Amino acid sequence: MIVPNCRQHIQERDLAFALGLLQGPTPDTGGVAAEDVDLDELLDSREVFNALVRSRDLLSVSPYFFYYVLVRQVFMRRGISDRSVADYVGALLSYFMRGEKLRGETQAGTRGFVYLVDLVDCARRAPDDQAAFVMEARIGDVALFLTGVFPDAIYHRQTYGRRLPGLEYYEAVGRSGYRSASRHPPSRHRDLGEVLEFMAAEFAAVRKALNDLSDTHFCMTRSRVESLDRIMRQALYGTRGQAAGEGRPGEEEEGGEEDGGEPGQYADGESSDA
């Protein structure tokens, strides 16, 4: 399952990138180490965030660094100050931005998208507390990722065509998943109880912060022009847009392609598939 491990996996190249902005370029950055700097202060720097969203060389930093810095900034602007929560959501984005992680085995044995209703059913049939804990947390993770990063898709499917479940459904299921996961004993053993409790209580606030990030910096549609549907969605879903700060929209998507291991990997090598 997702664990808040972004800051634990900050790499030397990430520190070199950040310190190079604040201290100026140096011929040799090989000696930069985490213990030489106040890591939290560095990652909270607005200058680092602004430079990151403008960078044309995102492959030079790790996805842990990339997503944590972006998430931390939009969370602080939304009044979400707990670094552990930003760490968790940064790991979640690092993990799910690899699109195959939202797929699983269908009954026919083929690969297909995992639906929340299927995950809920799996959680109900979990054989023990550990399995139930992992599945309940995954329900919250999937619901948050979909509502946070792809709100336009949910709005469009809710408004047109088959009139599928809307934002309220995803938020309710996501809150329930995180709340149930936080109450399982394994959450305490992994020091996730407080983070999951916060995610349940403040699901809407976290989702809105991710909407700000997605609207401003992730290019999830072919057109970068604000559409009427997006404006209507922002009004309906309670997001203001363009709140994440300066930078060119869409550049961050490149960072999601960087391959530096398995960012945000489910602990103990567990698969994310239902």
User: What are the structure tokens assigned to 65, written together?
Assistant: 């660094």
Please, which residues have CB within 8 angstroms of residue 168's CB and are 6 or more apart in sequence? none
pLDDT level of residue 206 (50, 70, 90 thresholds): very high
269 in a structural domain: no
Q: State which residues form the domain around 106.
A: 7-260
Closest alpha carbon to 80 in 210, 217, 240? 210
Q: What was the pLDDT predicted at 150?
A: 87
274 in a structural domain: no
Distance CA 244, CA 257 (A): 21
251 in a structural domain: yes
Closest alpha carbon to 9 in 51, 67, 76? 67
17 in a structural domain: yes
With a cut of 90, say whether residue 264 has pLDDT above it.
no
Distances (CA, A) of 128 to 125, 134, 186, 268: 9, 10, 11, 17
Q: What was the pLDDT predicted at 259?
A: 37
Query: In this predicted model, which residue has the larger pLDDT, 85 or 237?
Result: 85
With a cut of 80, say whether residue 8 has pLDDT above it.
yes
207 in a structural domain: yes
pLDDT level of residue 159 (50, 70, 90 thresholds): confident
Counting the structural domains of the chain, the total is 1
Lowest-confidence segment of 7-11, 25-29, 69-73 by average pLDDT: 25-29
Contact 62, 90 (CB under 8 A): no
Query: In this predicted model, which residue has the larger pLDDT, 212 or 21?
Result: 212
Reduced to 3 states, what is the DSSP secondary structure of residue 62? coil
With a cut of 50, say whether residue 44 has pLDDT above it.
yes
User: What are the structure tokens assigned to 208, written together?
Assistant: 């809105």
With a cut of 50, say whether residue 162 has pLDDT above it.
yes
| DSSP single-letter state for residue 46 | H
232 in a structural domain: yes
73 in a structural domain: yes
End-to-end Cα distance, the chain: 12
pTM, two decimals, is 0.77
Query: In this predicted model, which residue has the larger pLDDT, 270 or 189?
Result: 189
CA angle 131, 265, 207 (to 5 degrees): 85
Closest alpha carbon to 244 in 42, 47, 65, 70? 70
- In the chain, the percentage of residues whose pLDDT exceeds 90 is 42
Contact 154, 147 (CB under 8 A): yes
Q: What was the pLDDT predicted at 245?
A: 46
pLDDT level of residue 126 (50, 70, 90 thresholds): very high
124 in a structural domain: yes
pLDDT level of residue 141 (50, 70, 90 thresholds): very high
Q: What was the pLDDT predicted at 153?
A: 82
Average pLDDT, the chain: 77
